[in-house]
Amino acid sequence: MSWNRAVVTGDAVRRARAIAEFEEWEFVDSFHAQRVAEIDRTDEIPLSKDLARREVTLDLARALHVSEHQVWAMVSESATIADRVPGVWQSFRDGDIDAARVTAIADTAERLETPEAWAALEASAPAYAATHTIAELRSWLRRLRARLEPDETEAERARALEQRRVSITHNDDGTSWLNALLPTGLAVSVGERLRRAAKALAAVDPETGEQDRRTRDQKQADLVADWLTSCTGTSTDIRAEIAISIHATDLIGLTNGPGLTLEGEPVGPDWVRELAQSEHTVFRRLVLDPIGEVLDTTVLGYRPPESLRQALRWRDGTCRVAGCRAPVHETDLDHAKAYDSGGATTGSNLRCLCRKHHNMKSHGHLDDRFLDAPARHLERYAVAR
């Protein structure tokens, strides 16, 4: 099957699946609404009516071979979409987006509080959802909400912060899970410090001469155990090298938009401002063009200097293959046109690829059609009219 035929056929299959999901949702929504209306017109006592409504949900669940919770989710999310972002329902009907994306948008619509925010979501979300993976969509929705309603988002973040905790769950095989609920910024810091510390461990024990055969995950787990059993204190002094971008107006408090991690996750502007005041914080200016793309840099030689590497990490954020979420610090810098064939060491000829996709490219199995465009650090949202 040729590439063009595969794309056309694949798109048709995807669209048919989405339309089938829409038909299921529409059936559930209309059947549920009709039966509930009939129940509400009866003279039964409130308790009897409530139990009858639950029976409707159970009937639908049994007919569709799904749980009652799934049926209720369809009903609830359909109502949210119809009330707040009806244009999303039309995109679902047309097969442009599927049920998983509708659920993600409905969850955001439920959290947003103003008609203006709902209108902005309705104007922008369908187009983005139709061209991105569900993971990319969820991250984008978090950024959009933080930008549209910063005060409400910050209040929710503060409430969530009150729930921070550590829990331990014991397995049956002599191991246990250690889970910590932390602010996103601190979690990013912990992860980056662990990654760097594990990478810095010697490959060969200098005392015994034995090779360290532990995987990266094993090294990080051992480091956590060592740090938590040999250190004291409860104060936080971030020494890990992390990267947070923020608009200048947000940094100085004129506006209240979020900071963004390399992976595009929003973090509270107050935390970024506090971090900016630390004596250990180093600011680096990244020059962008008017639409938010990192301006090109040219270097003579094969290996790019650290300044260019940092700029490219910011530009790409993750592996450049569409839908791949491999963190940028786990990627290689690849020359699109090989250096030996005249390819320059420039921002326009370099891109971040994870090791798997880098190997595919090196062996001729990664065409440019699989790549996303470089990330833009100035997101634009459609305005409802």
Q: Report yes or no on 136 lying in a domain.
A: no
Instruction: Output the CA–CA distances (angstroms, integers) from residue 14 to 7, 17, 99, 145, 258, in the order listed.
Output: 10, 5, 12, 28, 34
Query: Do 87 and 50 share a structural domain?
Result: yes
Query: Do 314 and 224 share a structural domain?
Result: no
Q: Is the dihedral of CA 77, 83, 88, 92 positive or negative?
A: positive
Q: Which tens digit of pLDDT belongs to each residue from 333-375?
A: 898 888 888 888 887 888 899 999 999 888 888 888 888 877 6
Give the strand pairing for 266-267 and 244-245: unpaired
CATH code of the domain in which 324 resides: 1.10.30
Q: Please, what is the average pLDDT of the chain?
A: 84
Q: Report yes or no on 8 lying in a domain.
A: yes
Q: Report yes or no on 318 lying in a domain.
A: yes
Dihedral of the alpha carbons of 283, 286, 291, 294, in degrees to the nearest 10: -150
- DSSP state, 297? -
Query: Do 302 and 257 share a structural domain?
Result: no
Q: Which tens digit of pLDDT belongs to each residue from 278-312?
A: 666 665 555 555 555 555 555 556 677 777 787 78
Query: Do 311 and 209 share a structural domain?
Result: no
Q: Report yes or no on 147 lying in a domain.
A: no
Instruction: Name the residue with higher pLDDT: 224 or 384.
Output: 224
Res. 130 pLDDT band, cuts 50 70 90: very high
Query: Do 272 and 310 share a structural domain?
Result: no
Q: Which residues of 189-199 are buried (b: 16+ CB within 10 A; e: fewer)?
A: bbebbbbebbe
Query: Do 97 and 12 share a structural domain?
Result: yes
Which two structure tokens, joined as six digits, stand for 37?
Answer: 């209306």
Instruction: Output the CA–CA distances (angstroms, integers) from residue 245 to 207, 258, 263, 377, in the order listed.
Output: 42, 9, 11, 8
Q: Which tens digit of pLDDT belongs to each residue from 78-101?
A: 999 999 999 999 999 999 999 999
Q: Report yes or no on 43 lying in a domain.
A: yes
Q: Report yes or no on 236 lying in a domain.
A: no
Query: Do 15 and 122 share a structural domain?
Result: yes
Q: Which tens digit of pLDDT belongs to each residue from 109-129?
A: 999 999 999 999 999 999 999
Backbone region of residue 16 per phi and psi (left: phi > 0; alpha: psi in -120 to 50; beta: other values): alpha
Domain count, the chain: 4
Query: Which one, of 157, 223, 153, 162, lies nearest residue 194 by Cα?
Result: 223
Residues 199 and 213: their CA atoms lie apart, in Å, by 13
Domain span at 272: 244-276
Q: Report yes or no on 160 lying in a domain.
A: no
Instruction: Output the CA–CA distances (angstroms, integers) from residue 166 to 169, 178, 180, 181, in the order listed.
Output: 10, 7, 4, 6
Residues 365 and 198: their CA atoms lie apart, in Å, by 32
Query: Do 272 and 184 share a structural domain?
Result: no
Query: Do 251 and 221 share a structural domain?
Result: no
Of 179-183, 307-311, 321-325, 357-361, which gets the smallest average pLDDT? 307-311
Q: Is the dihedral of CA 299, 305, 307, 313 positive or negative?
A: positive
Res. 234 pLDDT band, cuts 50 70 90: low
Q: Please classify residue 343 by burial: count the beta carbons closer than 10 Å to its beta carbon, then call 0-12 exposed, 13-18 middle and 19+ buried.
A: middle
Q: Report yes or no on 149 lying in a domain.
A: no
pTM exceeds 0.75, yes or no:
no
Query: Do 99 and 62 share a structural domain?
Result: yes
Query: Do 66 and 126 share a structural domain?
Result: yes
Query: Do 211 and 250 share a structural domain?
Result: no
- Model pLDDT, residue 154: 87
Would the pLDDT of 219 be above 60? Answer: yes
